[in-house]
Structure 1
Amino acid sequence: MMIKKILIVSILSLYAATLTVSAETTDERIERMEKELKELKQQVNATADAVEAKGSSAMDRTTVGGYGELHYNNLDTPSGDKKSIDFHRFVLFFGHEFNDDIRFFSELELEHSLSGDGKPGEVELEQAYIEFDITDSTQAKGGLFLIPVGIINETHEPPTFYGVERNPVEKNIIPATWWEAGAALGGQIGATGLSYDVAITSGLEVDPASVKIRSGRQKVAKAKADNLAYTGRIKYTGIPGLEIAGTVQYQDDISQADNDGLDEAILYSTHVALEKAGFGLRALYAAWDISGVAAESTGKDKQDGYYVEAGYKFTPKVGIFARHNAWSNDSVKDKEQTDVGINWWPHKDVVIKADYQSQNADAGDADGFNLGIGYQF
């Protein structure tokens, strides 16, 4: 009987001990799982924070901008009245900084609202390049970029200039807006206020039958590159509000073809721009010197032009201007145009414009007024 009791007590004790061990193991397991879950949540949160920080950093380094302009033209020409309204340009900028030393910039433009067969406009990629900081004062870039020449070729957003239409001299002589593909180097020359730009790019393909400079822009659309162009510019901005610059470009065959009557061409351009106490002054001269019998026999071997513009801002929001333009694409016709008008900036990046233009007969004798609204962001 005693043995039976001892056996029963032993079995009960062993069972109780087993329950105790089992309960402790379960508690430990729960505690371990809670610890692992906490660590996992911490890892997930850390990963989410890292992804968010990386995404935020990428967005901080990416920029979007653009500009646009709507024009109304009401002109009296020898062939009759010319009245038109046109959303001339809709442009978007996209840029990105890969790091502090490498960045990307692009510009995509839609002209005249509609593009395609039989439509008046076109879609153009005007800029797409990578820029590298070599030193604090020297940069290099490669890709598709604006040629460093003139006043409006690189800076042509509507709020930055007077008049509804861009001036005809830079349009027909330089010819703005003008972009090519290649490589460029630029930078500051010490503390002198001087800067430089040099570039090797694709060049023009001018038709020997017309020798029209503006029509020779290939716009980097499967452009011929048998004859490259070499451009250099020196610019001075050492005095606040003053800019003086000169550009030279050389191309050893402006038609991209041998024995067709067109050979080498050199572009010279110089300008001054001054803004002080509300007063503004712009003056520019540009000239092409073209070799070859196709140009010389038609009087198109020398094509040049100039303009002088004076403006005054009564307030930061209202300014008036007058501009005289003279240019010639051949030795027969000397074209002239005078513009006077007013700009109103309700915001520094929004402008409403009105101007009157008068042309001589060689320029088309188109007299009348223009209205426009433009923006940038």
Structure 2
Amino acid sequence: MRKKGIFFIINERRSKGKLLLISSFFLAFAGLHNSAQAQIEEKVRINGYSSFEYEYRLSDEGNSDPNGSFDADLFDIVLNVDISSRLRFATDITWEHGTATEEGIGNAAVEYAFPEYTIRNWLKVRVGKMFLPFGIYNEIHTAKPAFLAVKEPLSTNKPDKFGADERFYPRWATGISVLGNFSVNTINFEYNVQVSNGYQENTNPFEEDDNTQKAIAARLLMQPIPGLKVGFSTYSDRITELDDTTGEDTGERTKLSSFSTHAEYSVGDFGLEFEYITGKTDPSDPTDLKKDAFEGMLYYTLKDRFTPYFRYEYLDPDKDVEDDTANMLSFGLNTLVDKNYFLKLQYNRISSGEANARFNAVDFSEFQAAVVLGF
């Protein structure tokens, strides 16, 4: 009995030792896990947004949706990683229109991906794929919680959906940006200068350039008084002209240039914005194309929750062609349902000239709605 008792005591001590060892392991793992989690929470910021939309054409005819369709418009994840006090990495990944690659529907894309190194507040450097720094909406066009209307203005931001042959500038670019902010007396300034591969048809502009010229984009923002922001943007590029038969580089270049000015002003619950863009496409042959566009918005916020707005858009896709213009009047209501959760309701009235390639003088009205979340 004594030997069995001793054996039992030894086994019990061994069991307690194993239990202590296992417990120590799990406690150490939990400590490492908590430490890693704390580091991740300190260095990594995850944000995003989603938009669910509805569109219905109210008129018998017109270039809009007669069926009253729902649209899982987009879901974006925005990731910022603070690698050091000076270096961060930023990316935005989007899934649009119910992306399902196995079914071949929707769209998945990297909106931007770049490291940003801060030398001073007035001097930062980015390299990678970026939005073009142009106007009010291009850098926020997917961030639906960032603006009042259901969609960004078509006339200035998507003129190819408003009767123009092409946009005033590319949506994205791959290259190098130098940007920053500074103050002179009481006036605050922000600037962004970007050099990129530019637009091209026969190669991937995010991988290689098809000519030696580089596209240049620049934007300057000023805040002369509280509540007022004034901006100027420019874009210039030299696009390779291809042979119609062989698809080879002809050695000739089409000059593309655009310029915009815009302003945003808010005082109390009242606000307004406007943007004007003019662009020119000048190929090697004598024929050039000039176009311009305008958008303006007025809004007023009630009880910090309800914001009715009025917006007007105008596009002339070719200054040398008569009766090709298009315009849109929009009346809408943006309601803050909960924190960063919005319901948008909007009525549009679209009219155009007979020579407009998109609408062909068929005037119509439509209703749009969106449920938008930011997190």
1:56 alignment counterpart:
38
The C-alpha deviation readout for 1:155-193, integer Å capped at 9, x for no partner, is 242222222122112322456882211111111233431
Higher mean Cα deviation, 349-358 or 235-244? Answer: 235-244
Letter in 1 for 2:260: S
2:336 alignment counterpart:
345
Counterpart CA distance in 2 for 1:54 and 1:119 is 38
The C-alpha deviation readout for 1:92-134, integer Å capped at 9, x for no partner, is 1111000110000000111111354874521110110000011
Gaps of 5+ in 2: 1-22, 160-166, 243-247
Letter in 2 for 1:166: E
More helix by share: 1
The C-alpha deviation readout for 1:258-306, integer Å capped at 9, x for no partner, is 4487511111011001121111101001121111157x64xx6112200
1:273 alignment counterpart:
264
1:195 alignment counterpart:
190
2:350 alignment counterpart:
359
Higher mean Cα deviation, 245-254 or 257-266? Answer: 257-266
Higher mean Cα deviation, 178-187 or 113-122? Answer: 113-122
Letter in 2 for 1:140: V
Higher mean Cα deviation, 180-189 or 285-294? Answer: 285-294
Higher mean Cα deviation, 274-283 or 150-159? Answer: 150-159
Q: Which runs of 4+ in 1 moved over 3 A?
A: 41-55, 115-120, 173-177, 189-192, 218-225, 254-262
Cα 1:176–1:288 shift into 2, 3 Å? closer
Q: Is the 8 A contact 2:241 2:254 kept in 1?
A: yes
Higher mean Cα deviation, 81-90 or 315-324? Answer: 81-90
1:162 alignment counterpart:
148
Higher mean Cα deviation, 78-87 or 367-376? Answer: 78-87
The C-alpha deviation readout for 1:174-220, integer Å capped at 9, x for no partner, is 5688221111111123343112111101211269xxxxxxxxxx885
Counterpart CA distance in 2 for 1:237 and 1:127 is 27
Counterpart CA distance in 1 for 2:111 and 2:168 is 14
* Deviation of the 1:47 alpha carbon: 9.7
1:144 alignment counterpart:
129
Q: Of the candidates 326, 340, 365, which is equivalent to residue 335 of structure 1?
A: 326
Cα 1:152–1:348 shift into 2, 3 Å? farther
Whether 2:94 is the aligned partner of 1:96: answer no
Q: Of the candidates 80, 86, 90, which is equivalent to residue 105 of structure 1?
A: 90
Counterpart CA distance in 2 for 1:89 and 1:287 is 30
Q: Is the 8 A contact 1:180 1:219 kept in 2?
A: no
Q: Is the 8 A contact 1:158 1:351 kept in 2?
A: no
Q: Is the 8 A contact 1:164 1:355 kept in 2?
A: yes
1:21 alignment counterpart:
none
- What is the percentage of aligned positions where both structures have the same residue? 19
Q: Is the 8 A contact 1:152 1:176 kept in 2?
A: no
Whether 2:166 is the aligned partner of 1:178: answer no
2:6 alignment counterpart:
none
2:297 alignment counterpart:
309
Whether 2:48 is the aligned partner of 1:66: answer yes
Counterpart CA distance in 2 for 1:235 and 1:169 is 22
Q: Is the 8 A contact 1:317 1:347 kept in 2?
A: no
Q: Of the candidates 257, 276, 282, which is equivalent to residue 291 of structure 1?
A: 282
Higher mean Cα deviation, 336-345 or 75-84? Answer: 75-84
Letter in 1 for 2:333: I
Q: Of the candidates 55, 62, 85, which is equivalent to residue 70 of structure 2?
A: 85
Gaps of 5+ in 1: 1-40, 208-217
Q: CA RMSD in A?
A: 3.1
* Deviation of the 1:250 alpha carbon: 1.1
* TM-score (ref. length: structure 2): 0.77
Cα 1:351–1:223 shift into 2, 3 Å? farther
Cα 1:288–1:180 shift into 2, 3 Å? same
Counterpart CA distance in 2 for 1:67 and 1:44 is 37
Q: Is the 8 A contact 2:296 2:313 kept in 1?
A: yes
Q: Of the candidates 353, 367, 370, which is equivalent to residue 369 of structure 1?
A: 367
Q: Of the candidates 125, 130, 134, which is equivalent to residue 119 of structure 2?
A: 134
* Deviation of the 1:87 alpha carbon: 1.1
Counterpart CA distance in 1 for 2:84 and 2:300 is 41
More strand by share: 2
Cα 1:61–1:302 shift into 2, 3 Å? same
The C-alpha deviation readout for 1:204-259, integer Å capped at 9, x for no partner, is 1269xxxxxxxxxx885545442421111111124332211101111122658744
Q: Is the 8 A contact 1:179 1:219 kept in 2?
A: no
Higher mean Cα deviation, 89-98 or 254-263? Answer: 254-263
3-state SS of 1:186 partner: strand
Higher mean Cα deviation, 190-199 or 71-80? Answer: 71-80
Letter in 1 for 2:46: V
Higher mean Cα deviation, 244-253 or 111-120? Answer: 111-120
